Structure 1
Amino acid sequence: MSSGKIAQVVGPVVDVAFAAGDKLPEINNALIVYKNGDKSQKIVLEVALELGDGLVRTIAMESTDGLTRGLEVFDTGRPISVPVGKETLGRVFNVLGDTIDLDEPFAEDAPREPIHKKAPAFDELSTSSEILETGIKVIDLLAPYLKGGKVGLFGGAGVGKTVLIQELIHNIAQEHGGISVFTGVGERTREGNDLYWEMKESGVIEKTAMVFGQMNEPPGARMRVALTGLTIAEYFRDVEGQDVLLFIDNIFRFTQAGSEVSALLGRMPSAVGYQPTLATEMGQLQERITSTKKVLLHLSKPSTYQPMTTLTQRQQQHSLTWIQQPTLNVS
């Protein structure tokens, strides 16, 4: 395990210097640093750029308060890895795969998978078309959803995107017995708490895994939590061979977090201030959200907040290129 030292801390971005001749960590590798040498105060950094002369630029998954120049940083040799499998059902995780529901301790021997993976090959993708009965009359009658399709909920603040997602999770679990993975990206802590207790009271929590990178989290966590939820869903699809629904609420916060760290990484902003890598980041996420021939259903429902209730923003346009069935929520 190679090690370096912190050279600079700028908000959520940390530069780490490695000695000349040492092997540099690969892009997307997870690095670990301990505040004041205290093993209980571990902070995970993800390598984003190689700057040359043994210097790498990383994004912190937690607050960098307390980090100082000269602290030793260790390379784990692999990307962030999170728990997967049936053990994740009924539990709530953060971006690093740590449980945050204050329930019984999570199984240490549970399988883990890296959050960075390649998308399924083109010849593995499903080509079948079948209607998904959601149990919501207005959707089933006027704009039915396809199994394995990508559905986007577009709307301004407070028009019911999250409520619609909650209803869909409840109906799918009760009527179809399907597994759902809910990923909260940069949303309100209150909404996540309400959703958890509602699902627990209705009994559908045992069919659902939940992952949260909430509004108060650093941008690094909000940017990567969507990949954490996707990795859990992919395991059910590829290894368990089970139909699974992936809900992402809110995809706008995903791009917003990327925009926050983009300037600190030294990238020139593009149109309207968005990061120049917006299309690439969106593509890397969306290409992995797909149905394969093994599994009939892998439905992504990215909820998308509309700034100024307009569909002309670059983020909205990039989302629409990946979504087959947009649903517009209006007040």
Structure 2
Amino acid sequence: MNFSLPMDSYLKKAQKHHFFFTFGKVSEVVGLLIKVEGLDVFIGEICKIKLNDQGKFALTEVVGFVKKTVLLMPLGELSGIKPGCLVYPSGKPLTVEVSEQLLGHTLDGLGKIIDGSAIDHDDLVSYPVQQNSPDPFKRKPIHEILPTGIRAIDGLLTVGEGQRLGIFAGSGVGKSTLLGMIAKYCAADVIVIGLIGERGR
């Protein structure tokens, strides 16, 4: 009988959980700012606010301090937060878990799958959302053409691999349509589309 254990898998799961907790308490909510007393945290750290006894939590991010009062910004709804709610620090900044399994899925703003499908979480690797900007002098020169599949662009406004491209126009004139055409017809292995401020699309 084989009693060997997949220790790497167990260690990876254990690192995601805390075995003792420190906490603070909500003292005030002003607009979108949540004031908390009793926390020792850093700017950008993720904290969880316990909303009730059913184990529901609200995710927040540390955005500032006033003396020893910590200022949090919610990453979701404020409903359910009241004075005295317990606040638990995570000890780490906002991270997303990624792998090739995410290809073809729809994610929310926190990198969570929202299309109802399931993936193997053991293969996911965590990356912090906040990263230093790459050194502009170490960027690779743009030499290769990126075919977009749009003849007017390819013939007159040729795009290069690695280039940044802006599409600016008034509302209702086809920016999203053009973006969709480029995503559909361009010669790329992976296409990532982010809908930011798109009013629920």
Structure number with the bigger relative contact order (C-alpha 8 A, sep ≥ 6) is: 1
Q: Same fold (TM over 0.5)?
A: yes
Q: In structure 2, how many angstroms separate the alpha carbons of the residues matched to 1:42 and 1:97?
A: 17
TM-score normalised per structure 2:
0.83
Cross-structure match for 1:48: 63
RMSD across aligned C-alpha pairs, in angstroms? 1.7
Structure 1 runs of 4+ with >6 Å offset: none
Select the structure that is richer in helix. Answer: 1
Q: Deviations over 1:10-47 (max 9, x none)?
A: 343211111xxx6x2110110011211332x2211011
Shift of 1:161: 1.0
Shift of 1:177: 4.5
Q: In structure 2, how many angstroms separate the alpha carbons of the residues matched to 1:99 and 1:122?
A: 33
Mapping of 1:45-84 within 5 angstroms? 45-52=60-67, 54-84=68-98
2:44 to 25, 28, 35: 28
TM-score normalised per structure 1:
0.52
1:140 aligns with 2:146: no
Cross-structure match for 2:175: 161
Q: In structure 2, how many angstroms separate the alpha carbons of the residues matched to 1:135 and 1:48?
A: 43
Mapping of 1:147-296 within 5 angstroms? 147-172=161-186, 176-190=187-201
Q: What secondary structure is seen at the aligned counterpart in 1 of 2:52? A: helix
Aligned length in residues: 180
User: What amino acid is aligned across from residue 156 of structure 1 in structure 2?
Assistant: G
Work out which of the two has the higher radius of gyration on C-alpha atoms and give 1 or 2.
Answer: 2
Q: In structure 2, how many angstroms separate the alpha carbons of the residues matched to 1:56 and 1:178?
A: 44
Cross-structure match for 2:23: 3
* Contact 2:142–2:160 (Cα < 8 Å) also in 1: no
Identity of aligned residues (%): 28
Q: In structure 2, how many angstroms separate the alpha carbons of the residues matched to 1:81 and 1:151?
A: 27
Cross-structure match for 1:209: none
Q: Structure 1 unaligned runs (5+)?
A: 191-331
Sort the Cα spacing of 1:87 and 1:142 in 2 relative to 1 into closer, same or farther, 3 A.
Answer: same
Q: What secondary structure is seen at the aligned counterpart in 1 of 2:184? A: helix
* Contact 1:12–1:63 (Cα < 8 Å) also in 2: no
